[in-house]
């Protein structure tokens, strides 16, 4: 059985920037700035987003990764009650919630640390922090030394070998599950965290919610060290993050195709692991600032949605917003946007991403199909995604000139679902002319462009389903459609139908498959009567 996150489209928000919160927490009454998330709810649904990943939301000194209270929403963002209401509203709209689990380090105002500042060696919390000793002063002037994360002494490294620390953190996660009904965690600085803690975290979270998702921030190394049945479900795919933008800048699709095959091809070393894919985030320059040619943004996002793994959009980048680190500051990557008035917004790119979301929902093979390279050149790539009896071809051309892809296909006819244009097929050979700086997603049955766009739906289908109608299967049996249900994990629409024969057996089938056509053009289920 596939997990819900293998079918997810994730929207990543850095709350402090997204909400325009003050840079430093100076105390005072909470301000419910996070309600801005609810203002963009129609925007999220139009993009078919089904998961929001919130960066740090808990009380902190400044940027959120210097936590001071794991059990209280940062007053610059709102209150626990307000965030619980936001989570409830998102869940009611079919959108899951992922929080940032910052468990490697805390801020210097963390109460257990300030207790040591006050009471010295008499503090009961001396064992809570890594390499704490009283043999000399810290760089911050404390009469003791401690380990700061990555040399940053405003980030005090926790001692995750201390059972009391682990218990405290797990109890905090339990509070998040109970109070906010969260669906998963992104683990910050996962490469620095003790493996035994991750094992305990997994056991605890899965016991509370069997489908709880654990994803770790990993930049280098063998992803299987962290993503395995004992620890995390997924990790950040920094290998392909780099490969995506550099393949376009260097005009070398061999790079990203090699990485994808190495990871998830027929003999891929991470096959079976749904990696978290992204083209930018709160720590790296925006993709619009990384590409030498802005025209390549469209192919970048087509690749993001079509490659194996879970696609994630960083807030604002769906409009092609630029942003680079300046003077060692991440602030330009984390601004506050007015979604109604975005200067320089690339609306065409946004429409492209909306279309990609609809395609991703409509074709299971695009989400979890097996990757296979068909044609690879420096400036062109054609690959297929196959799941059971569904095959999709993805053609990308980053050249300044058009390119003709010629390839074998078992399909008698093909359509580019991005444009709705038919692709010539003759004698089992397809011929697709792809314009410069564009791509195609080639399918047999274009179930998106046959009907007007309805972006609020999770699945748009070729024919109207008649609930209560009598349908005849192409093999002869008659069935009455009882209702349409949603799969609890993937949100895929399922047709519930009953045999009109003596046994009266009740069946369920994906709606897209129920209304699909056979290779010879016949309908799989043909409506005979709508009475």
- Overall average pLDDT of the 335-340 stretch: 90
Q: pLDDT category, 510, cuts 50, 70, 90?
A: confident
* Model pLDDT, residue 521: 59
Tell me the domains of the chain and their CATH numbers: 29-104+160-235 (3.20.20.80), 109-148 (no CATH), 368-443 (2.60.40.1180), 470-529 (2.30.30.320)
Q: pLDDT category, 448, cuts 50, 70, 90?
A: confident
* Model pLDDT, residue 460: 31
Q: What is the pLDDT of residues 67-78, one digit of tens each?
A: 999 999 999 999
DSSP 320: T
Instruction: Check: CB of residue 434 under 8 Å from CB of residue 421.
Output: no
Alpha-carbon distance 375 to 383, whole Å? Answer: 7
Which tokens sit at 353?
């991403």
- Overall average pLDDT of the 202-228 stretch: 97
- The candidate with the shortest Cα–Cα distance to 198, out of 223, 222, 231, 227, is 231
State the DSSP string of 167-179: HHHHHHHHHHHHH
Q: What is the pLDDT of residues 111-163, one digit of tens each?
A: 999 999 999 999 999 999 999 999 999 999 999 999 999 999 999 999 999 99
State the DSSP string of 461-526: -SS---TT-EEEETTS-EEEEEEEEE-TTT--EEEEEEESSTT--EEEEEHHHHT-B-TTS-BSEE
Q: What is the pLDDT of residues 250-282, one digit of tens each?
A: 999 999 999 999 999 999 999 999 999 999 999
* Model pLDDT, residue 462: 36
3-state secondary structure of 185: strand
| Highest mean predicted confidence (pLDDT) among 197-206, 484-493, 496-505, 506-515 | 197-206
pTM of the full structure = 0.86
* Model pLDDT, residue 522: 73
* Model pLDDT, residue 520: 56
∠ Cα 212 213 215 (to 5°): 155
């Amino acid at each position: 059985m596939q997990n819900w996150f293998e079918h997810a489209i994730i929207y990543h928000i850095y709350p402090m920037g997204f909400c325009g919160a003050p840079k430093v927490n100076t105390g005072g009454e909470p301000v419910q700035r996070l309600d801005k998330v609810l203002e963009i709810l129609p925007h999220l649904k139009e993009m078919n987003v089904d998961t929001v990943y919130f960066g740090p939301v808990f009380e902190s000194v400044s940027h959120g990764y210097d936590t001071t209270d794991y059990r209280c929403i940062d007053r610059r963002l709102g209150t626990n009650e307000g965030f619980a209401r936001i989570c409830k509203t998102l869940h009611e709209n079919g959108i899951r919630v992922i929080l940032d689990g910052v468990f490697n380090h805390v801020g210097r105002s963390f109460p257990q640390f300030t207790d040591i500042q006050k009471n010295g060696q008499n503090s009961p919390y001396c064992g809570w922090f890594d390499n704490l000793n009283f043999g000399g002063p810290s760089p911050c002037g404390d009469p003791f030394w401690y380990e700061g994360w990555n040399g940053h002494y405003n980030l005090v490294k926790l001692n995750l070998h201390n059972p009391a620390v682990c218990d405290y953190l797990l109890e905090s996660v339990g509070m998040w599950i109970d109070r906010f009904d969260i669906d998963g965690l992104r683990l910050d600085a996962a490469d620095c965290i003790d493996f035994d803690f991750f094992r305990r975290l997994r056991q605890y979270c899965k016991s509370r919610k069997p489908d709880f998702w654990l994803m770790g921030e990993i930049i280098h190394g063998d992803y299987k060290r962290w993503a395995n049945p004992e620890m995390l479900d997924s990790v950040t795919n920094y290998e392909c993050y780099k490969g995506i933008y550099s393949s376009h800048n260097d005009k070398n699709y061999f790079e990203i195709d090699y990485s994808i095959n190495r990871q998830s091809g027929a003999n891929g070393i991470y096959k079976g692991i749904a990696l978290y894919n992204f083209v930018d985030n709160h720590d790296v320059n925006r993709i619009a600032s990384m590409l030498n040619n802005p025209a390549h943004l469209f192919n970048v996002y087509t690749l993001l949605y079509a490659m194996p793994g879970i696609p994630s959009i960083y807030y604002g980048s769906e409009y092609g917003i630029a942003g680079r680190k300046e003077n060692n500051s991440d602030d330009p990557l984390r601004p506050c946007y007015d979604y109604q008035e975005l200067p320089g917004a690339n609306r065409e790119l946004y429409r492209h991403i909306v279309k990609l979301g609809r395609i991703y929902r409509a074709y299971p093979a695009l989400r979890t199909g097996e990757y296979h390279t068909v044609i690879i050149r420096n400036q062109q790539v054609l690959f297929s995604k196959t799941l059971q009896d569904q095959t999709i071809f993805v053609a990308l051309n980053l050249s300044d000139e058009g390119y003709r892809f010629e390839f074998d296909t078992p399909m008698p006819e093909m359509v580019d679902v991005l444009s709705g244009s038919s692709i010539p097929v003759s004698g089992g050979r397809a011929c697709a002319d792809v314009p410069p700086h564009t791509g195609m997603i080639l399918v047999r049955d274009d179930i998106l462009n046959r009907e007007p766009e309805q972006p609020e739906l999770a699945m748009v289908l070729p024919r109207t389903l008649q609930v209560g109608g009598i349908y005849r299967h192409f093999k002869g049996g008659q069935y009455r459609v009882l209702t349409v249900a949603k799969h609890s994990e993937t949100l895929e629409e399922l047709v519930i139908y009953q045999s009109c024969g003596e046994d009266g057996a009740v069946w369920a089938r994906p709606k897209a498959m129920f209304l699909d056509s056979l290779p010879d053009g016949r309908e799989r289920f043909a409506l005979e009567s709508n009475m």
